[in-house]
Amino acid sequence: MSSKATPRTITVAAAQMGPNQKTDSRASILNRMLKLMDDAASQGVKLIAYPELALTTFFPVHYLTDEEEIASYFEPTSAAEPYALLSSPHVKPLVDKANALGIDFYLGFAERWTGEDGKTTDFNTAMYYSVAAGTGVGKYRKVHLPGRTEPLPDPKAFQQLEKKYFTPGDIGFKAFRAPGLVPDALKAEDVGPESETVAKGDPILGMLICNDRRWPEAWRPYGLQGAELVIEGYNTTAWAPQYDGTPEEQQETAEFHHRLSCQAGSYQNALWSINVAKCGIENNQGLIGCSLIIDPNGRIVAESKTMDDELIVATIDLAKCQYQRGRVFNFEKHRRPEHYGIILDQVGLQEIPLLSGA
């Protein structure tokens, strides 16, 4: 038994994907994902992250009315089979390869969920597949849906309609453990009284999707649960005609905000993050790249260089989370929730009153 953090080292990858055009077949997209997993295996990767809505084109930027077409973008799940997609032809080849190669994966997909009451709800979802468990061990449904419920009237406007297609996530920010992901993890019986700052047991993970990363309220719950790694996939618009600036300026700003948000979330919660893009020109609409692996100091340790399918890989030590958790970000010593009430009590911005006489 030791009071020092043991190495909790693992090789992980962000499987950045180039565009999925509307005309691309499911099979061709899945084949690219399988190839990225093969590449990962050749580099010793044990965990690979695919982007948000990885299996299809990013359909929420289109105003669709054909229910059959809309349904074609979704994977059915249910209370009885929460990970039903794993046995569908859309995903099973990925599961089979993951099992063969010993690689866990994070996957973003559109989820059409039938609850116990038989009611169907659509979510923008991510799931974590664990090889050791042989099934999904974590699901996250996007909480911070951007965009609108109804299309903008201007026919030339760029549309962002996630609020039309999806219901905000109903699970919240629920960290989970990935069994066996770090083979030499400290066991419960090895853990002594000095070990308060030693992460123990199987790695603690969290998941976010795209716009969530801009919201510190989305990162903090994972930090509070001891997450050592947050995985986040995204489709982020590079520019739109109705926004300020040239396309180049807009894209540079979008990349800046992306890096800033992911680096701040990692630093302020002293955890690793994998942030993975679907990018490039998809159906004539630009999406940013900049897939990132970030350390618990907020430093970028790996970044994509292309706007296409590209694997970025890093070998990361989860124990590095403990350094800042014992110092600047010792939450127990320094946080003051008695002053945070407004964060829950108030949803929107409410300007304080005008001065009397003003």
Catalytically active residues, by annotation: 52, 142, 210
Q: Tell me phi and psi for residue 65, to 5 degrees.
A: -125, -15
From the CB of 249, what's the least distance to its own copies, in Å? 11
Which residue's CB is nearer to its own copies, number 116 or number 332?
A: 332
From the CB of 8, what's the least distance to its own copies, in Å? 13
Q: Is 354 in the site for its own copies (CB under 8 A)?
A: yes
- Identify residues 231-290 at the interface with its own copies (CB under 8 A): 244, 253, 256-257, 260-261, 263-264, 267-268
- Identify residues 86-105 at the interface with its own copies (CB under 8 A): none
Q: Is 347 in the site for its own copies (CB under 8 A)?
A: yes
Which residues are paired to 77 by β-bridges?
113
Q: Is 355 in the site for its own copies (CB under 8 A)?
A: yes
Tokens of 244: 């300020």
Nearest to 146 by CA among 234, 33, 257: 234
Q: Is 331 in the site for its own copies (CB under 8 A)?
A: yes
Which residue's CB is nearer to its own copies, number 67 or number 354?
A: 354
Nearest to 259 by CA among 229, 224, 289: 289
Q: Is 344 in the site for its own copies (CB under 8 A)?
A: yes
What is the C-alpha separation between 243 and 326, in angstroms, rounded?
43
Tokens of 17: 């994907």
Which residue's CB is nearer to its own copies, number 27 or number 328?
A: 328
Q: Is 167 in the site for its own copies (CB under 8 A)?
A: no
Length of the chain measured in residues: 358
Report, in angstroms and rounded to the nearest whole number, the Rg of the chain calculated over CA atoms: 21
Q: Is 298 in the site for its own copies (CB under 8 A)?
A: yes
Which residue's CB is nearer to its own copies, number 30 or number 145?
A: 145
Q: Is 335 in the site for its own copies (CB under 8 A)?
A: yes
In the list 19, 108, 138, 169, the residue contacting its own copies (rule: CB under 8 A) is: 169
In the list 145, 231, 274, 287, the residue contacting its own copies (rule: CB under 8 A) is: 145
What is the C-alpha separation between 337 and 254, in angstroms, rounded?
32
The answer to whether 291 and 273 are in contact (CB under 8 A) is: no
- Identify residues 183-242 at the interface with its own copies (CB under 8 A): 185, 187-188, 199-202, 204, 211, 214-217, 220-221, 223-226
Q: Is 352 in the site for its own copies (CB under 8 A)?
A: yes
What is the C-alpha separation between 173 and 56, in angstroms, rounded?
25
Which residue's CB is nearer to its own copies, number 63 or number 243?
A: 243
Positive or negative: CA dihedral 55, 58, 60, 63:
negative
292: alpha, beta or left, given left = phi > 0 and alpha = psi -120 to 50?
beta
Q: Is 336 in the site for its own copies (CB under 8 A)?
A: yes
Which residue's CB is nearer to its own copies, number 22 or number 148?
A: 148
Q: Is 4 in the site for its own copies (CB under 8 A)?
A: no
209 CB burial (10 A radius; 0-12, 13-18, 19+): buried
In single-letter form, the type of residue at position 151 comes to P
